[in-house]
Structure 1
Amino acid sequence: MTGFVDEEDRSFSTEHDLLVFGQRLRHLRRSAGLTLVELGERVGRAPSQLSLLENGHREPKLSLLRSLAEALGTSVDELLSKKPPNRRAELEIAVERAQLDPIYQRLSLPPLKVGKRVPTEALEHVLALYEELKRRETKQVATPEEARKANAELRGTMREHGNYFPEIEKSAANLLERIGYQGGALSEGLIQSLSSHLGYGLRFVTDLPRSVRSVTDMKNHRIFLRRESLGMHSPRTILLQTLGHLTLGHGQPRDFADFLRQRVEANYFAAAVLVPEQTAVPFLRKAKEDRDLAVEDLRDVFSVSYEMAAHRFTNLASQYLDLVCHFVRNDETGIIYKAYENDGLVFPSDATGAIEGQRMCRYWAGRQVFAAADRYSTYYQYTDKPGATHWCVAHVDTSRARDFAITLGVPYAESRWFRGRDTTNHAKSGCPHGECCQRPPAELASRWEGMVWPSARAHSHVLSALPSDTFPGVDEADVYAFVEAHQD
């Protein structure tokens, strides 16, 4: 049976719910007309032990599950069904869970013992009040400054850990082991096995709401996806990000910072599954030994995007290769969309410490690649920057509607481990300090200053508040209408 083994000392699987199991056990016992004492006599257990099972406080061993099923005249499958036996049981479980939520616990109310004497209407009221409290807590509007500060703080945490998070690596590795992963790029079949292992079916649809990449129907255990890619996000990447939320136990975001953290963790999980630590690390160590490290090799061996390969390199470089590095994604105008560093590189930033939205130096590799004779070939460059020289490899990602450059860089001394270290491309940058490229040359400015009036592209989004939804940017009305329309 899924989630169980035959050893007597192994117990309840984490993919089953103790509260639901307890409710089903109580329901089937009462339906059979048995007391706890009578059922205990049939299965050789004390009534107190069975009471702990019914209240969701103890895990049942496989041998006991079989005895209970036989005593109640049912099957183990029926006992382990993930569906509460009735509406009353569903409400009791929901109220028990609500009382564990920090939002609820901040009210400092005495625990509500959910017994049979509590009217069903009272449970309905408690649950409705909790849902409204949670909605108000999670729909607080974040200002752009708060969002940028949250982003900067998250990047600081990534830097402190070398962008390596062992608990997520372990979660990914455990799942891969359970589906029999042996090495190399993951097949579509293995990826779908991950979903099945977690108890979710896949549905590919054409009418997914425009504001989402996927929709997870947690009531019916289904994940809805489009078949086509969304920029760099292929259906398998989106599926793995969704499974990451489920595997890592994410709840509804408390605020924008929590939303951002969850999204980064889910992305990390997807990369850790597609480029598994157990096979990627030996591959990278061998490449370093051969002085032939290359992001494109990581991309090709594991069949992922160049961006995912470069970002995955940052996860493993400091932990296993004794390398510090930096990563940037920027558009052709130099606007930074994503960045990370633990090699001392100084990015342009605002007063909150945020990098995203700043314009990088025109002499950095991420901008010079767009001026190369062939912008779609791999571009290497050494750049003298204030205090240090960095070697970088830049690649223009064509998987989106517009081009973005992905850059991976290391200090000069570390370039000896990389393919492309013999490049003759060399530039000098004074950014983000000094004149450098942020102002026009004095001679040019003297001829044109005051004689030109450019009409800037409209950037109306800078004046708008961040979305205040539970999941920022998601139209919940569309999502709820969608899942309602797809009820079988």
Structure 2
Amino acid sequence: MTTSSDLATLGHRVRHFRTRAGLTLDALGAAVNVTGSQLSLIENGKREPKLSLLTAIADAVHVPLTDLLTREPPSHRAALELELLEAQAGPLYSTLGLPAVKPNRGMSDETLESLVGMHRELQRRASEAIATPEEARRANTELRARMRARDNYLPEIEKVAEERVTAAGHATGALTHRTVGIMAEQLGFELLYVNDLPNSARSITDLENGRIYLPPASIPGGHGLRSMALQAMAHRILGHTVPTSYAQFLEQRLEINYFAACCLIPQTRAVAFLRDAKKNRNLAVEDFRDAFGVTHEAAGLRLTNLATSQLDMRLHFLRVTDEGMLQKGYENDGIPLPSDVTGSIEGQRVCRKWSARSAFARRNRTTEQYQFTDTPEGTFWCSTQTGTTDAGEYSISVGVPFDEAKWFRGRETHRRAESRCPDESCCQRPSDELAGKWRDKSWPSARLHTQVLAPLPSGRFPGVDDNEVYDFLDRHAATE
């Protein structure tokens, strides 16, 4: 079916080749046996011509028929005119209640460029406005589903990261700050540590002067600083462009995090380490963590990248707050993660019986807690480690189905729990006795989670204040 956009493009092509041939509407009409007014309707995209008429027009203006039928605008100006007409015909412009501006010969190219530019900006701002928390959750859910389908494994990034690490001369041990600096130099960048980074940015890359600005908070070292530098470099290495949607922004963030993890825990050495541990039935996240000098969370997440594709093992990963809220989650082993009606898992409460929550009650948290949990989808084994940030406590859990527990340290645990979630009678609904006793005699003052109300800030990159970033770059470019 021919769309109005196709007809408009066809009309522009007919007009373009007619005027190039030096013919008026009436002259061309006489050559193809139609009136000039009928041709005008075709050129304005108001009428769809028969193929026989198009063939006659092509012969009259001395071009192949394919030159008329292609969907590409015949010139840059024609492309601008079509884009303007399409924008004014859209629902966004109609909400403004403004009259349409019809492009004509008397309109300069500069005027057209300005009008089209304003429509593009209007569309961009409208797209930003719909990046609500609901839109963000939808995009994140779709991205998680795509990664689950790939077993959380991106071989193309694995390959690029390994090449970069090898080129920097790194062979064994934890990736050092010096090696990260060499990687930056090979890309033409210098790593600088400053005290005045804008609050909305983790790092800033000055493409003009070849500088990557990082905060000094992690000095004298640590996983965080190396990871931030690698993430900043990843945008250049992976060929990212400015994101045009929140979904693209999330995908880019996932890719730079993945690249950093691949550099800190290169696949070749990581797989060799894990296979050896599996052979000895002594897999442990804490050993994997210590072998590569990263955080427990980074080691757990990296295991999700490699376990299925390289170890033939399905698993799950959870990061849970001390309130029981799921902050990050991944599974390809069938564990029933809590989710809302959209399929989003972030912000959902996990079962109180799961190790991810029961581990907070432990007095000795220096080692992992091991637990088997019976669920409606089967029995799962988990190892859980807790930690603390300024925002509160959290737990990191990595688990597998019962049959896979034989490869892990801690499989001999006698700790076992039963979870019936999402059945609310499991742990979410109070007993009838307690509800009867306290329902009408209690009134808690709820804590308002500000992220529930906060819209996503505008800017070229969601959450980043462009004004602060540009002021920062200008200030440093002038003084260094």
Both proteins in one fold, TM over 0.5: yes
Corresponding letter in the other structure for 2:142: E
Q: Distance in 1 between matches of 2:315 and 2:471?
A: 45
1:332 to 322, 329, 340: 322
Corresponding letter in the other structure for 2:124: E
TM-fit CA distance, 1:294 = 0.5
Q: Residue 458 of structure 2 aligns with which residue?
A: 468
Contact 1:164/1:315 (<8 A) preserved: yes
Q: Residue 317 of structure 1 aligns with which residue?
A: 307
Q: Which has the higher helix share?
A: 2
Q: Distance in 2 between matches of 1:480 and 1:326?
A: 41
Q: Residue 241 of structure 2 aligns with which residue?
A: 251
TM-fit CA distance, 1:453 = 0.7
Contact 2:202/2:214 (<8 A) preserved: yes
1:377 aligns with 2:367: yes
TM-fit CA distance, 1:464 = 2.9
Q: How does 1:178-189 map to 2 (within 5 A)?
A: 178-189=167-178
1:153 aligns with 2:142: yes
TM-fit CA distance, 1:463 = 2.4
Any idea what SS the aligned residue of 2:396 has? strand
Corresponding letter in the other structure for 2:196: D
Q: How does 1:431-450 map to 2 (within 5 A)?
A: 431-450=421-440
Q: Residue 205 of structure 2 aligns with which residue?
A: 216
Any idea what SS the aligned residue of 1:449 has? helix
Q: Distance in 2 between matches of 1:277 and 1:320?
A: 9
TM-fit CA distance, 1:134 = 6.4
Larger radius of gyration, structure 1 or 2? 2
Q: Residue 30 of structure 1 aligns with which residue?
A: none
1:425 to 412, 415, 422: 415
1:133 aligns with 2:137: no
TM-fit CA distance, 1:468 = 2.6
Q: Residue 355 of structure 1 aligns with which residue?
A: 345
Contact 2:334/2:377 (<8 A) preserved: no
Q: Residue 385 of structure 2 aligns with which residue?
A: 395
TM-fit CA distance, 1:362 = 0.7
Q: Distance in 1 between matches of 2:361 and 2:425?
A: 21
Q: How does 1:298-317 map to 2 (within 5 A)?
A: 298-317=288-307
Q: Deviations over 1:249-283 (max 9, x none)?
A: 11111111111111011100000000000100011
Corresponding letter in the other structure for 1:137: R
Any idea what SS the aligned residue of 1:262 has? helix
2:395 to 405, 412, 431: 405
TM-score of the superposed pair, with normalisation by structure 1: 0.72
- Calculate percent identity across the aligned residue pairs: 47
Q: Residues 129 and 486 from structure 1, CA distance in 2 versus in 1: closer, same or farther, beyond 3 angstroms? A: farther
Corresponding letter in the other structure for 1:375: R
TM-fit CA distance, 1:465 = 2.1
Q: Residue 47 of structure 2 aligns with which residue?
A: none
Structure 2, unpaired ranges of 5+: 1-70, 78-108
Q: Residues 132 and 247 from structure 1, CA distance in 2 versus in 1: closer, same or farther, beyond 3 angstroms? A: farther
TM-fit CA distance, 1:434 = 4.2
TM-fit CA distance, 1:323 = 0.4
1:193 to 161, 166, 182: 182
TM-fit CA distance, 1:410 = 0.3
TM-fit CA distance, 1:132 = 8.5
TM-fit CA distance, 1:150 = 0.8
Contact 2:161/2:262 (<8 A) preserved: yes
Corresponding letter in the other structure for 1:247: I
Q: Distance in 2 between matches of 1:454 and 1:255?
A: 40
Q: Distance in 1 between matches of 2:316 and 2:180?
A: 30
- What is the RMSD of the two structures over their aligned residues, measured on CA atoms? 2.6
1:386 aligns with 2:386: no
Q: Residue 110 of structure 1 aligns with which residue?
A: 75
Q: Residues 193 and 246 from structure 1, CA distance in 2 versus in 1: closer, same or farther, beyond 3 angstroms? A: same
Q: Deviations over 1:296-317 (max 9, x none)?
A: 1111010001000000000000
TM-fit CA distance, 1:128 = 12
Q: Residues 135 and 264 from structure 1, CA distance in 2 versus in 1: closer, same or farther, beyond 3 angstroms? A: farther
Q: Residue 404 of structure 2 aligns with which residue?
A: 414
How many residues matched? 374
Q: How does 1:225-264 map to 2 (within 5 A)?
A: 225-229=214-218, 234-264=224-254
